[in-house]
């Protein structure tokens, strides 16, 4: 059983935390990952820094810029995976990447390196199912899950085509747009989760725009097995640049608040109205 399977088998819902390798600095990046793990993130999604992250909103884009300025490369991301693997041997890790990083390296080398570092899955944000043959054989060869993406715009037929080759879990994009925090989630999210659920036995995780406990609650109520939080964590890093102690305290606070969305009982109104800070 893979680490991803084992996680979802024993726990649902799960909290998936996102970080850009090398943000806010190459060494500081591991300390960020460690804090996220200590704060009980269940699965870590590590982005390989890229010069042109078009699927990302401004918050995550700036994280890519910080990482690249710090000298981060794909090797930095593999090194971070290795460190996380050592620190938390059972914690599943997914590499999030733009396709050109793989294209330049060659699929065989990329997936070999990802596997050697201890990654469990790879998510290629700009490689649609029509082009996925370019990586599928390598993912299979090295035993890496290919995390599939389903968007609100994905037709039922495309959903089937996408799910056919998917493994690990399915990443459901909650909103039409780039990554980034939103005031409210798309009202169609429950329908989308339901439609994908009918077509696959894989766990479903919902991401894009999730930044508050009530979002988490909505997504869990919609039947998702996990939520993915990115910009809210990355923004916390950005707001505490130069104050590492404050950064780690704030990350712990944000993650604890988000986890409250998993609580079966609704929070008092006073907490629900409060924005996730930090």
Contact between 183 and other proteins (CB under 8 A)? Answer: no
Beta strands in 117-159 (DSSP E): 121-124, 145-146, 148-150
Residues 6+ positions from 148 with CB-CB distance below 8 Å: 129, 162, 163, 165, 166, 170, 171
- ∠ Cα 177 262 41 (to 5°): 75
Contact between 150 and other proteins (CB under 8 A)? Answer: yes
Contact between 125 and other proteins (CB under 8 A)? Answer: yes
* Minimum CB distance to other proteins, residue 252 (Å): 30
Nearest residue to 24 (alpha-carbon basis) of 81, 83, 91, 69: 69
* Minimum CB distance to other proteins, residue 113 (Å): 12
Judged by CB under 8 A, the residue of 50, 78, 111, 169 near other proteins is: 50
Known catalytic residue at 45: yes
Region of 1-9, 25-33, 57-65, 189-197 interacting with other proteins (CB under 8 A): 57-65
**Residues 185-224 within binding reach of other proteins (CB under 8 A):** none
Q: Outline where 19-149 has alpha helix (H).
A: 26-38, 58-69, 74-87, 99-105, 107-117, 136-141
Is 261 within 8 Å of 220 (Cβ atoms)? yes
215 φ/ψ angles, rounded to the nearest 5 degrees: -65, -45
Known catalytic residue at 56: yes
* Minimum CB distance to other proteins, residue 67 (Å): 11
Is 57 within 8 Å of 209 (Cβ atoms)? no
**Residues 227-266 within binding reach of other proteins (CB under 8 A):** none
* Minimum CB distance to other proteins, residue 38 (Å): 30
Distance between CA atoms of 35 and 88, rounded to whole angstroms? 12
**Of 23, 42, 56, 83, catalytic:** 56
Q: Enumerate binding residues for other proteins (CB under 8 A).
A: 50-52, 54-55, 57-58, 61, 65, 68, 73-74, 99-105, 125-128, 130-131, 149-155, 158, 162, 173, 175-178
Q: What residues act catalytically? A: 45, 56
């Amino acid at each position: 059983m893979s680490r991803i399977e084992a996680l979802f088998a024993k726990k649902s819902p799960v909290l998936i935390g996102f970080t850009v390798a090398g943000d806010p600095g190459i060494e500081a990046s591991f300390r960020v990952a460690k804090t996220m793990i200590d704060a009980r993130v269940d699965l870590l999604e590590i982005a390989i820094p890229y010069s042109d992250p078009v699927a990302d909103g401004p918050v995550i884009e700036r994280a890519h810029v910080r990482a690249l300025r710090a000298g981060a490369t794909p090797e930095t991301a593999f090194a971070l995976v290795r460190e996380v693997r050592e620190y938390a041997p059972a914690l599943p890790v997914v590499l999030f990447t733009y396709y050109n990083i793989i294209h330049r390296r060659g699929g065989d080398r990329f997936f070999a390196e990802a596997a050697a570092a201890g990654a469990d899955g790879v998510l290629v944000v700009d490689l649609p199912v029509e082009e996925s043959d370019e990586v599928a054989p390598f993912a299979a060869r090295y035993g890496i899950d290919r995390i599939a993406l389903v968007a609100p715009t994905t037709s039922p037929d495309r959903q089937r085509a996408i799910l056919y080759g998917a493994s690990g879990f399915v990443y459901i994009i909650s909103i039409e747009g780039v990554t980034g925090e939103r005031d409210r989630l798309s009202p169609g999210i429950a329908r989308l989760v339901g439609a994908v659920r009918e077509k696959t036995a894989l766990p479903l995780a919902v991401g894009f725009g999730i930044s508050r406990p009530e979002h988490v609650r909505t997504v869990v109520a919609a039947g998702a097995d996990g939520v993915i939080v990115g910009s809210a964590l990355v923004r916390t890093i950005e707001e505490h640049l130069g104050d590492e102690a404050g950064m780690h305290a704030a990350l712990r606070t944000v993650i604890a608040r988000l986890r409250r969305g998993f609580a079966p009982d609704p929070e008092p109104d006073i907490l629900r109205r409060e924005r996730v800070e930090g």
